Amino acid sequence: MKITILNDDISLKRQLEQGNEQQLQTVREVIQQVRTEGDAAIKYYSEKWDGFAPENLRVSEQEIVEAVKNFDQQLYIDLQEAADNIRLYHNEQKRSGFRLPLADGSYLGQRITPLDAVGLYVPGGSAAYPSSVLMNVIPAQVAGVKRIVITSPAGNDGKLPDAVLVAAHILGVTEIYKVGGAQAIAALAYGTETIAPVDKITGPGNIFVALAKREVFGEVAIDMIAGPSEICVLADETAYADEIAADLLSQAEHDALACAVLITTSDDLADAVSDQVEIQLSKLPREAIARKSIENFGHIYVAESMKEAVRAVNSLAPEHLEVVTENAEKVSEMITHAGAIFIGRYSSEPVGDYFAGTNHVLPTNSTARFASGLNVDDFIKRTSVVYYSEKTWKQNSPKIARLARLEGLEGHARAVESRGWDKGEEE
């Protein structure tokens, strides 16, 4: 890996693919076709791009039963425990609203209402991502969403991976469709004969899925347009080079555009990690992908002090941050911008990806400066409530009318005054 002295130019921002004009035009055509032709368009594009046009778009109960029957029992137990951990963590995020009492029975308040329906997109085809099911479904369930829909592209055998169906089964989700790509996003946004529309779409996908989510935003809500994965490790001389290298590669293997950065105060650690990355790359099954990531977006920065290193981390605002230093918890308290923070030697990033309970859907490309990871709040609405008694109205209506006229909005003033107080009465 490239090793340099830390400087002010450090950045996670990459020239990422935002979709060329041809890709965008394709997505727009797909969305329009799905809006006008419904299921027929979905089957057409599924055949064209996935090589499979399902006769029935919806996964049958029997398919779910078979997936559970065929699944490894220990893995089932592991998924169940992971789901329990995720639910425990997200239960702490629940809101109950509030009521602020005023005089004479008046009050202000806020009501928390779950969304009616959400759609989760799960990438598929050659791979299975049951963790995506857990991370997207559970916060929606905790929020109280009544209808949760999963869409995912089928494999060459016309089926969804057993792991995806088992994860859905564990969570009690039964509305699952064999639909992928931009056509799935269009179906969730606008509905077809088989798939009723939802209010929000979450979940990762390829460039066509990302572009489709961007196109339908406004018609429905979306979680985010996430870029390739990132990891930043903040470490000092107490860290072990082989462990840090393994953590960097855990994200590099995601995507050739993934970013892996080490910021350290130790020259010796920098050299040792660079060597270890090369040693471990040669033994990694996804070596080709990880090597491109490391060559293009992997970097090791050496800082003069921990203060300078922390400042650099906050400038990066990485998706995942590991703090592997002496007094790691104290150092982590100086971090203000990161999607998720993993403290200490034994809190490797994959712990959060799969099992600990925190959500792995996180802001990328330095957007952790202002954005948060997926959480229960993403699946609720906050509604303001105002109740004024007659006495409170009488006390405040002249003030409200004056403020309305200050802004030149006579209709607003008259709406307040129309309630019957003596127009000539002084406050």
Cα distance between residue 154 and residue 53, in whole Å: 9
Distances (CA, A) of 39 to 36, 187, 193: 10, 8, 6
Does the annotation place 206 within a ligand binding site?
Answer: yes
Does the annotation place 90 within a ligand binding site?
Answer: no
Cα distance between residue 191 and residue 319, in whole Å: 33
Active site residue 320: yes
* Burial category of 55 from C-beta neighbours within 10 Å (exposed 0-12, middle 13-18, buried 19 and up): exposed
Task: Write down the catalytic residue from 63, 253, 319, 322.
Answer: 319
Sequence-separated (6 or more) residues with CB below 8 Å from residue 179:
42, 46, 57, 151, 152, 153, 187, 195
Per-residue burial over 370-398, b if 16 or more Cβ lie within 10 Å, else e, is: eebbbbbebbbeeeeeeebeeebbbeebb
Structure tokens at 412: 């607003």
Sequence-separated (6 or more) residues with CB below 8 Å from residue 340:
319, 320, 321, 352, 358, 360, 362, 373
**149 in Cβ contact with 188 (< 8 Å):** yes
Active site residue 319: yes
Does the annotation place 93 within a ligand binding site?
Answer: no
**368 in Cβ contact with 262 (< 8 Å):** no
- The CA angle 60-187-379, to the nearest 5 degrees, is 90
Cα distance between residue 337 and residue 86, in whole Å: 23
**Element spanning 2, H or E:** strand 2-5
Does the annotation place 183 within a ligand binding site?
Answer: yes
Does the annotation place 389 within a ligand binding site?
Answer: no
Distances (CA, A) of 92 to 142, 172, 178, 227: 10, 21, 33, 28
Does the annotation place 236 within a ligand binding site?
Answer: no
Cα distance between residue 18 and residue 226, in whole Å: 11
Does the annotation place 110 within a ligand binding site?
Answer: no
Task: Write down the catalytic residue from 253, 320, 322, 360.
Answer: 320
Does the annotation place 22 within a ligand binding site?
Answer: no
> Which residues are annotated as part of the binding site?
121, 183, 206, 229, 251, 254, 320, 353, 407, 412
Q: Which residues are annotated as a binding site for NAD(+)?
A: 121, 183, 206
By annotation, the residues acting in catalysis are 319-320
Residues placed in the known binding site for Zn(2+)? 251, 254, 353, 412
Binding residues for substrate: 229, 251, 254, 320, 353, 407, 412
